[in-house]
Amino acid sequence: MLLGKSVTEILALIKNKKISSKEVIDYFLKRIEKYNKKLNAYLTVNKSYKADKSKKIKVPIAVKDNFCTKGIRTTASSKVLANFIPPYESTVTKRLIDTSFFILGKTNMDAWAHGSSTETSDFGPTKNPWDLSRCPGGSSGGSAAAVSSYLAPAAIGSETAGSIRQPGSWSGVIGLKPTYGRVSRYGLIAMASSLDCPGPLTLTTEDAAFILKIIAGKDEFDATTAPNEVPDYVASLKKKKKFIIGITDEYLNGVDCEIKNAFYQLVEILEKLGHKIKKIKLLSPKYSISVYTIIQRAEVSSNLARYDGIRYGNDRTFFGSEAKRRIMLGTYVLSYGYYDAYYKKAQKVRTLIIEDFKKVFKEVDMILAPTTPIPALKLGEFEKYPFFGEMMDVLNEPAAIAGICAISFPFGLTKKENLPIGLQLMGRWFEEENILNLTHQIEKETDFLGVIKKGVKNYPD
């Protein structure tokens, strides 16, 4: 009865007394019991649900393990925080709990969110539900895998540059990266503070809109949150808007043939639906990789300096190899004599990238592109190339650097290996409404070529 139901559908069932919150939560706990050993999507499962007297409706949701959850272990998948119990609640989880969610568990990720495979987790990799010999993507790989295999009806992830969209794409679910500052970072274990964005991974566009509405908005505890009003993202899905959509060769260079085919197939469908497609020119994404590498490592080295093992957590000898590599590079680019050559240069190129998008967004409402150049890699393939993870996020990093919003959704499977293909829409700053609106139109027209439903069916009750 529940298999594959979205958050919105489950809420309706509970409201109409077809099922109780407790039954729903028990259902997912049972599924986690059955499949989590195989997938390693959850690091911590929360079995503490008790129906209280208020009978408040609660729908379960999975949360990436870098959001502080009061009283629930939070590790960021690093042994440095192996036993850390947060004394406070992150704004995102607080807003979820205060409305109608129950934190079902904390999901695996690349340690400190450093990676694109979930293999750098100190607690073992998460497996891709579509092929257990492959990565789910990362860093929000546990969240993506949990939704794809229906071990949660939705999940929260966080993205610094690709960490929601890329695992969404590889695991065959929807991943929304909101505009920087749209969602509070308070209580999110900081990776690169000028880029980090919390966002949902879901089975339907409606759920992405529903969850964004709850978690978005000004937060007095995060001065970088924007004061812009939060629109009713769900209600605005119903408007039949027509858009001008930009496409660019810069985002198709070196992209796998089958992914390109899916891209052109969608372009045709969008034209048929009455949208205009326009060729645009953007800076090569290769510069975003460099900007991201410098800014992210610099901010990592500074943010991870606080982990001294004195007030909480273990000491710095517990850092894994990827975290150490990033701290070292960050220290290098910030060190005396190199600051101007690297950090300042990267900040200037960030300006160029922002200006580049501003210019393009005068001509088009949003940009359509593949999310990743290739489908999911095998476990272990990343390790061979220390810089390889960045290459898997090459199409995601420009939007992250510019701080704009973007959404990845599945669009078909590869023929040979039956792996999900992901495409993305990138929209103007604070125009989540529009990218959600078009994704919803695509969903209604194509059902994402059946990918999400097939994914869930692979994991029967």
Contact pattern for another protein over residues 295 through 324, marking x by CB under 8 A: ------x---x--x-xxxx--xx-x-x--x
What x-and-dash track marks residues 49-88 binding another protein by CB under 8 A?
----------------------------------xxx-xx
Question: From the candidates 100, 116, 117, 139, which is the catalytic residue?
Answer: 139
Q: Of 21 and 44, which has the nearer Cβ to another protein?
A: 44
Beta strands 244-247 and 276-279: pairing type?
Answer: parallel
Choosing from 223, 244, 359, 417, the residue that interacts with another protein (CB under 8 A) is 223
- The residues pairing with 422 across neighbouring beta strands, listed in sequence order, are 410
Report the distance separating Cα 403 and Cα 395, nearest Å.
14
- Angstrom CA distances, 34 to 1, 40, 149, 308, 461, stand at 17, 11, 11, 38, 9
User: Is residue 386 within the footprint of another protein (CB under 8 A)?
Assistant: yes
Is 362 near another protein (CB under 8 A)? no
Angle at 448 between CA 437 and CA 279, to 5 degrees: 60
CA distances from 81 to 69, 70, 189, 191 (A): 13, 14, 11, 14
Sole binder of another protein in the list 403, 412, 422, 427 (CB under 8 A): 403
* Secondary structure E strands in 46-196: 59-64, 101-107, 154-159, 174-177
Give the N- to C-terminal CA distance of the chain in Å, as an integer.
Answer: 10
**Given the residues 117, 163, 184, 301, the one annotated as active site:** 163
User: Which H helix or E strand runs over 420?
Assistant: strand 420-427
Residue 112 CA to residue 81 CA, distance in Å, equals: 10
Residue 163 is among the residues annotated as catalytic for this protein: yes
The contact pattern for another protein, residues 160-189, with x = CB under 8 A and - = no contact, is -------------------xxx--------
Q: Which is nearer to another protein, 406 or 449 (CB)?
A: 406
User: Is 64 annotated as catalytic?
Assistant: yes
**Quick check: 321 and 436 in contact, CB under 8 A?**
no
Number of residues engaging another protein in binding (CB under 8 A): 59
Is position 139 annotated as part of the catalytic site?
A: yes
Q: Give yes or no for residue 352 binding another protein (CB under 8 A).
A: yes
Residues that bind another protein (CB under 8 A): 83-85, 87-88, 179-181, 194, 220-221, 223-224, 226, 286-287, 289-291, 293-294, 301, 305, 308, 310-313, 316-317, 319, 321, 324-325, 327-332, 335, 342, 344-352, 354, 386-387, 401-404, 429
Residues with catalytic roles: 64, 139, 163
